[in-house]
Structure 1
């Protein structure tokens, strides 16, 4: 599902974001490209020594900021009384990418209850993402500075 903003720019829905994080083929879209790369970085991060994570984390920060800039251009100016969300869209997508990388790669061989719990957490976060995108589109939420 894709949501269209008033500016004509598309904001991908939760299903497209999760599919991109899983590495599935998708339309050429900056947010989907960034989500896929974030998931890859989280997979690499699991195998990287702590002393070498700075480069990965710098790239993650760049991708998060790029997503946030794109969302700012794609969404209307929030209404005066719009509440502020606790995270940016980029931060939420980064967390979705991390959970996706954890749920589909290392947990694929885990016992069913462990995999199920990870899947539930991923779906709950995906719903949070979708709710935020819907609220941004209607101007009822604003993003933190």
Structure 2
């Protein structure tokens, strides 16, 4: 299913993971932010602690912009909707970090180490997709909303 043709549609897990890996995608605010978050995590791995504050501020800005966008794109949840523990922006930031960890430094790692990182990434991507599906149905609500 192509989920980037319409900018009002929240991208699915596969499209989001591809954006985190830097693969080409259609213009979409979440995909642009996810790609930049992954780049920031990659840069962060080589950045001295004294210079990380600037990168982390930019990550926080991107995370908030994702959250604002999702709030506008998703239907208002029903009153009985369960509260999720994280915002979509926070999940996307974690997905970007795990993608960077799994594909950049582990590309030459032993297969078992790469596999474990891929399993973690896949599990988090499933959590993201479940959250997006629940938000679309109005069955979940996000913190701070």
- Following the alignment from structure 1 to structure 2, what is the Cα–Cα distance between the partners of residues 2 and 108? 28
Q: Which residue in 2 is equivalent to 1:123? A: 122
Helix, strand or coil: the match of 2:10?
A: strand
* Per-residue deviation, 1:119: 0.2
Gap runs ≥5 in structure 1: none
- Following the alignment from structure 2 to structure 1, what is the Cα–Cα distance between the partners of residues 3 and 130? 11
- Following the alignment from structure 2 to structure 1, what is the Cα–Cα distance between the partners of residues 3 and 108? 34
Helix, strand or coil: the match of 2:75?
A: coil
* Per-residue deviation, 1:46: 0.3
Checking the alignment, whether the CA contact within 8 Å between 1:2 and 1:10 is kept in structure 2 is no
What's the TM-score, normalizing by structure 1? 0.95
Alignment RMSD: 1.5
* Per-residue deviation, 1:9: 1.1
State how 1:60-79 maps to structure 2 within 5 Å.
60-79=59-78
Checking the alignment, whether the CA contact within 8 Å between 1:2 and 1:11 is kept in structure 2 is no
* Per-residue deviation, 1:121: 0.2
Count of aligned pairs between the two proteins: 143
* Per-residue deviation, 1:91: 0.1
- Following the alignment from structure 2 to structure 1, what is the Cα–Cα distance between the partners of residues 115 and 54? 32
- Following the alignment from structure 1 to structure 2, what is the Cα–Cα distance between the partners of residues 49 and 84? 37
What's the TM-score, normalizing by structure 2? 0.95
State how 1:12-51 maps to structure 2 within 5 Å.
12-51=11-50
Q: Which residue in 1 is equivalent to 2:51? A: 52
Deviation per residue, 1:4-52 (Å, 9 max, x gap) = 9xxx811000001100000000010000000000000000000001110
Q: 1:83 to 1:3 in 2, by over 3 A?
A: farther
Q: Which residue in 2 is equivalent to 1:142? A: 141
- Following the alignment from structure 1 to structure 2, what is the Cα–Cα distance between the partners of residues 69 and 121? 27
Q: Which residue in 2 is equivalent to 1:100? A: 99
